[in-house]
Amino acid sequence: MSVTHGAHPGESLSAEEAAQLSPEEAMIAGAEADGIYIVHRRERFPIAGTKAEKRAERTIAAVFMVGFLAAVAFIVVFCGAVPFEWQLPGVGNQNYRFFTPLIGGLLGLSLACVGIGVILWAKWLLPEEEAVQDRHDGASDLTEQILVAGTLVSGYQDLGLARRSMLKTTLGLAGGALGLVPLVALVGAMIKKPNRGEGQSLFHTPFEPGMPIVYADGRRVGPGDLLPGGIATVFPGIPGGVKDPDAPTLLIRLKPGETVKARKGQENYHWGDYVAFSKICTHAGCPASLYEQKTGRLLCPCHQSQFDVLQDAKPVFGPATRSLPKLPLDVEMVDGRQYFVAKGDYPEAIGPSFWERP
Ligand code: FES
């Protein structure tokens, strides 16, 4: 193949002449018509199918295959092969610690492999080329359009996609699996609703009907323990109940004359002058436990949300938008003394708001 270098020779070609050129000749002529002169161009493997070329091709395919496997592994891990829910130390499956490093590492590996594979393909298999470019303005005529088409076809032929089926397949696998990753992460996160399956735990705490209510040291809490206006942080009386992140509950004894304007259906959740609210702030989950007796307000120290206990812990200031859930209280007699028990679990999810909250 030879194309005369000169002052934009491609511009002097007619459409008929341009149509006679091979794709590579058209690409070079087109480049020259645009003021780009290819001063050096050489195939990396002038003889196709040599051992060296096959070796390069296999190496690149192996890199793409690793990218494919990493993307598939990401999807498998994300879809539940590794637990993601936090567990108390020493209790339950601790493998949740590997979830985030694994999905981060696998996604990084997959992206890196596809990137490295593409770079190696360009470096090892595409023709070597050096070009010098002039610049020009203006629209392209038909001849130039044909030459550009030739340029694109030549580039495609240089890629060797038609005869490099192994590379085509492995790149397709890696790229396809990688393309699925954002889809799985985005769509999967919407399908995996927190009120279904394992996520149902978002709506429950360890409290259940008849469960003793205890202090952090395990002692049972009784109605005679607090002075009017007093508060205590209490927990479900089961092993590990004190450490359960959903369990901290604030027991409040109202002052004489104070009453709580209860939510509909929760009119009998108090016991005498005692009420109990979740201590987990409904804004971002900090412990809301600064009780101001005088105003009956419960303050969260993190972002200054305030909850009016007498309005059933309704948020009256700050970023929280939802009332603190209320625990239904009852008492039982043990050895002639009254102790608090839960009448049931919280009727709604405790803590920060999330979508699909009832
Ligand atoms: S966590 Fe309580 S106000 Fe933000």
Residue 358: band (very low, low, confident or very high) from pLDDT cuts 50, 70, 90: very low
* CATH 2.102.10.10 location in the chain: 205-358
| Nearest by Cα to 234 from 354, 341, 129 | 341
Residue-wise pLDDT for 219-236, tens only, equals 999 999 999 999 999 999
Distance, CA of 278 to CA of 300 (rounded, Å): 12
In Å, how far are 73, 303, 309 from 290, measured between CA atoms?
Answer: 47, 13, 12
- Which of 279, 289, 299, 303 to probe ligand 1 with, by most ligand atoms within 8 A of CB? 303
Alpha carbons 288 and 318: distance in angstroms, whole number: 12
Say whether pTM exceeds 0.85.
Answer: no
Whether residue 97 has pLDDT greater than 80: yes
In what helix (H) or strand (E) does residue 232 lie, and over which residues does it extend? strand 231-236
Q: Whose CA is nearest to atom 1 of ligand 1?
A: 284
Reduce the DSSP state of residue 354 to 3 states and report it: coil
Kindly give the distance from the C-alpha atom of residue 263 to the centroid of ligand 1, in angstroms, as a whole number: 22
Enter the DSSP assignment of 94: G
- The token pair at 339 is 């102790």
Residue 196 has pLDDT above 60, yes or no: no
DSSP 275-331: EEEESB-TTT--B--EEETTTTEEE-TTT--EEEGGGTSEEEESS--SPPPB--EEE
Q: Give dist(CA 195, CA 348) in Å, integer.
A: 11
CA-closest residue to ligand 1 atom 4 = 303
Rounded average pLDDT over 300-305: 93
User: What is the reported pLDDT for 200?
Assistant: 56
Choose the CATH number for 205-358 among 3.40.980.10, 3.40.50.800, 3.30.420.40, 2.102.10.10: 2.102.10.10
Which of 250, 305, 306, 316 best tests ligand 1's pocket when mutated (most atoms within 8 Å of CB)? 305
Question: Is the distance from the beta carbon of residue 318 to the nearest atom of ligand 1 less than 6 Å?
Answer: yes
Across the chain, mean pLDDT equals 87
Residue 303 beta carbon below 6 angstroms from any ligand 1 atom: yes
